[in-house]
């Protein structure tokens, strides 16, 4: 093993997801209030996210999202594209209120980097690059420490599609057996095991929507993961 893939929200970025979504949509609705009523905006966003998650065509997530959104608003999509872009540089930062401070995960990243491991951020690419990079910084981390970061603009598939993980492996030129996927989502992160990627489930912010039986190579909280990292050999 020489490469470690990390989920972002709930893993590298300890966060209260319910509070995150509450603030996120509150701020979006305020920012778009002159363009769409709140109920329509929220519905259109969720429907377009669903289109991204279900997409199996070789289209970027950005393209899929705005194609879906355009059909719903029946208006000049560039107005909405520009407004989203502005939002992520302004009101989006209020979402930081939902972030928790967990030093153990930052220490784990530092140790892994010092030991020579390739680090990847394998977040569900539902957000633009700038929104993902801001959240990496909120976690007290440097985007430059990661050899690859999934984004809305670059990637073509979403979790839990296996195509999502296959695309990452292809882009970073790694075999499944060289990798470990670390995440807090039973359905979205542990599915990587189907390709032969080992998995580590972080339990502090665990998500298990279907209450599936948990099958993971490693399971533990942030402190357990730090101990695991300290025992890994240098490469």
> Quick one: 112 and 218 in the same domain?
yes
Predicted pLDDT of residue 135: 97
**Residues 45 and 128 both lie in one domain:** no
Same domain membership, residue 134 and residue 214? yes
Segments forming the whole domain that contains residue 9: 3-15+100-231
Average pLDDT over the chain, rounded to an integer: 96
Whether residue 7 is found in the same domain as residue 23: no
Give yes or no: residues 109 and 224 share one domain: yes
For residue range 87-115, list pLDDT tens digits in order. 999 999 999 999 999 999 999 999 999 99
Instruction: Tell me what pLDDT residue 38 has.
Output: 97
What is the rounded distance in angstroms from the CA atom of residue 58 to the CA atom of residue 156?
6
Which of 77, 96, 115 is the last residue before a domain boundary? 96
pLDDT in tens, 133-158: 999 999 999 999 999 999 999 999 99
Give the model's pLDDT for residue 210.
Answer: 81
Of 34, 67, 96, the position where a domain reaches its end is 96
pLDDT in the model for residue 209: 87
Residues 220 and 119 in one domain: yes
Q: How confident is the model at residue 75 (pLDDT cuts 50, 70, 90)?
A: confident
> What pLDDT was estimated at residue 189?
98
Interval 211-222 mean pLDDT: 92
Look at residues 63, 96, 129 and tell me which one is the last residue of a structural domain. 96
Beta bridge partners of 202: 220
Q: Are residues 58 and 7 in the same domain?
A: no
Q: 0.85 exceeded by the pTM?
A: yes
Residues 161, 141: Cα–Cα separation, whole Å: 27
The mean per-residue pLDDT over the stretch 199-224 comes to 93
The CATH number given to whatever domain includes residue 158 is 3.40.50.1000
Residue with tokens 């429907």: 47
Number of domains composing the chain: 2
Question: 220 and 165 share a domain?
Answer: yes
User: Is the confidence at residue 74, as pLDDT, over 90?
Assistant: no
């Amino acid at each position: 093993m020489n490469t470690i893939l990390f989920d972002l929200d709930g893993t590298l970025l300890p966060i209260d997801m319910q509070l995150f979504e509450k603030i996120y949509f509150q701020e979006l609705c305020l920012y778009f209030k002159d363009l769409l009523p709140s109920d329509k905006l929220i519905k259109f966003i969720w429907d377009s996210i669903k289109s991204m998650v279900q997409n199996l065509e070789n289209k970027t997530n950005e393209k899929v999202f705005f194609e879906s959104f355009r059909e719903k608003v029946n208006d000049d999509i560039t107005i909405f594209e520009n407004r989203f872009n502005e939002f992520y540089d302004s009101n989006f930062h209020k979402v930081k209120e939902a972030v928790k401070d967990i030093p153990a995960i930052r220490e784990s990243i530092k140790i892994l980097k010092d030991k020579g491991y390739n680090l990847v951020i394998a977040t569900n690419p539902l957000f633009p690059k700038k929104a993902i990079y801001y959240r990496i910084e909120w976690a007290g981390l440097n985007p430059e420490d990661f050899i690859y970061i999934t984004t809305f603009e670059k990637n073509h598939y979403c979790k839990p599609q296996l195509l999502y993980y296959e695309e990452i492996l292809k882009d970073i030129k790694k075999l499944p057996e060289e990798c470990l996927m670390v995440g807090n989502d039973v359905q979205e992160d542990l599915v990587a095991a189907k390709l032969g990627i080992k998995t580590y489930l972080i339990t502090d912010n665990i998500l298990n929507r279907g209450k599936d039986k948990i099958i993971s190579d490693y399971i533990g909280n942030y402190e357990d993961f730090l101990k695991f990292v300290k025992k890994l050999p240098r490469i």
